[in-house]
Amino acid sequence: MSKSLVVAVCGATGAVGREMLTVLEQRNFPHSEIIAMASARSVGKKVPFMDRELTVVEMTEDSFEGVDLALFSAGGSTSEKFAPIAVKAGCVVVDNSSAWRMNDECPLVVPEVNPHDLDWHKGIIANPNCSTIQMMVALKPIHDEARIKRVVVSTYQAVSGTGQKAIEELENQVRRLMNGQPVVADVYPHQIAFNCLPHIDVFMDNGYTKEEMKMVNETIKIMGDPSIKVTATCVRVPVFYSHSESLNIETEVKLSANDVRALLAKAPGIIVEDYTEKNIYPMAINAAGEDATYVGRIREDETIENGINMWIVSDNIRKGAALNTVQIAETLIERDLVRVP
């Protein structure tokens, strides 16, 4: 990647925005300038990047002149307002919110799965939901080999997926409980400490939550195959970082557990941890801060002819957000697509 670009990180003071800066640094992303943008209340704050600090500037309608690439992590309403303005100024946007994911004009991309969809971008590329991303990384090699018919997924999602206030709420609740004090639930409708909430995002008319339907709809768009049936149950658990998922997969062609292990072991972005005789399997505490999607507990579903069960874990702030966004940007450069058509 030889190009040096002017890159804006929009929402640079948030957890994902700060992680984007870290990932850009760690991956030596080519740039001539990195601009940290945020709302007016964050102007003047400092965020670390490489061997210096960046001073946060306000994101306004005039902020994108001369910017080649904008990585958005600033919330859906902000993205809806500013992403088209950035594109009009000649900037390519990779957006981490849900605002553009199901827009027919915007590719929804996991680079290990559908990089070719970047070829038809019109200026805005959407980053999928965190829980969808790690599932796609694990499903793609299986779908290519044996064609997936149906997926049943249950998620166990970390509080960092809700944001910094949720992390602080879990910390405070644990501290208060350990000291015999009553807890207060502000971020979630119920206590999250030592509890599991089968409720992520709002409930919809069909009884599913919006998070669950994101996994259904985004899978079809990313895979480009409306025949894949997906059903999901999404649960918030008292873990700080890394989402865990239990997958039950039905394929058209029979795959043994060893077949799946071999497929995934050579797939990009995946580390297979499946040594149950040594009690080795993916865990949230080990995935936190790492780039890979970890897969284990791979076994055949003995209740159907072509079924596989497995367990996958990935850091929701890295691969589920910041890393995938930067990987999309890297792929745009590799494919010479950092331009507005």
Respond yes or no: is residue 196 known to be catalytic.
Answer: no
Judged by phi (left if over 0) then psi (alpha if -120 to 50, else beta), residue 123 lies in: left
Report the C-alpha gap between 272 and 5 in whole angstroms.
35
- The identity of residue 163, as a single letter, is G
Strands 229-236, 148-157: pairing is parallel
Burial 141-174 (b: 16+ CB within 10 A, else e): bbbeebebbebbbebbbbbbbbeeebbebbeebe
Given the residues 10, 91, 130, 234, select the one marked as catalytic: 130
H-run or E-run covering 304: none
Which of 236, 251, 241 minimizes the C-alpha distance to 154?
236
Q: What is the DSSP letter of 128?
A: P
Neighbours of 259 (CB within 10 A): 17
Give a three-class secondary structure readout of 75-89: CHHHHHHHHHHHHHC
Respond yes or no: is residue 130 known to be catalytic.
Answer: yes
Active site positions, annotated? 130, 243
